[in-house]
Chain A
Amino acid sequence: DVKVTQSSRYLVKRTGEKVFLECVQDMDHENMFWYRQDPGLGLRLIYFSYDVKMKEKGDIPEGYSVSREKKERFSLILESASTNQTSMYLCASSTGPGTTGELFFGEGSRLTVL
């Protein structure tokens, strides 16, 4: 089974702090994604990566950055956390072109910014 592991299930941070969310997948998937999930808004794409050191902005990249130094690991960084970034963050991975593009999700990281 594909396993996508997010390092922290729950985090509480203060406004202005730098926040790192880590994600690791064990199936050698090419693509990795960060979404945020908010009630009534569904999942919105923040960033994705289709190869090591490659990244593309999603629909809501403002206030976020990402890092992919190794194929299995994709990090989401909040340079200066704000209260409107309180949310559930979901990491996902998928195989490359020519496949159905099914996403495999982690358990999620619930971030609260005070």
Chain B
Amino acid sequence: AQSVSQHNHHVILSEAASLELGCNYSYGGTVNLFWYVQYPGQHLQLLLKYFSGDPLVKGIKGFEAEFIKSKFSFNLRKPSVQWSDTAEYFCAVRIGRALTFGSGTRLQVQP
């Protein structure tokens, strides 16, 4: 069965630090890739998605992710985090109709 691995379970950063969250998946075929974010007390929202084309994808709030097919990776990046980025981040892979999610990374940004 396909799986999604997020290596960082809990990340603590200071404001203005750079962020990179790792995501790897195990599936050799064509995939659609997603990053979702869940702010405290809110529902899951889409940050960005990769469907095809340019492997560098830009999303909302200054986030971006790079799809590296040879490494089965889709890492999330942001050059300078803000306190408001404190949230839980989930990587997901679509194969067929449903999405398979990683275990999530809790990001805590300290002012």
Contacts and interface: CB of A to CB of B under 8 A. Distances in A.
B88 to A, nearest CB: 9
A48 interface: yes
Contact of B49 (A56, A97, A102): A102
B10 to A, nearest CB: 10
Q: Number of contact residues on A: which range applies?
A: 20 to 34
13 contacts: A31-B97, A33-B98, A41-B103, A42-B101, A43-B92, A45-B99, A58-B98, A59-B100, A97-B97, A100-B94, A103-B46, A105-B45, A107-B42
Interface of B: 1, 4, 6, 9, 32, 34, 36, 42-46, 49, 51, 90, 92, 94, 97-104
B34 A102 contact: yes
Contacts of B42: 107
B32 A42 contact: no
A100 B103 contact: no
Contacts of A107: 42-43
Given A48-B97, A50-B97, A105 B43 contact: yes
Contacts of A106: 43
A68 to B, nearest CB: 14
A90 B44 contact: yes
Contacts of A35: 101
B91 to A, nearest CB: 9
B32 A43 contact: no
A107 B97 CA distance: 21
* Max chain B Cβ within 10 angstroms of own Cβ: one of A40, A42, A92: A42
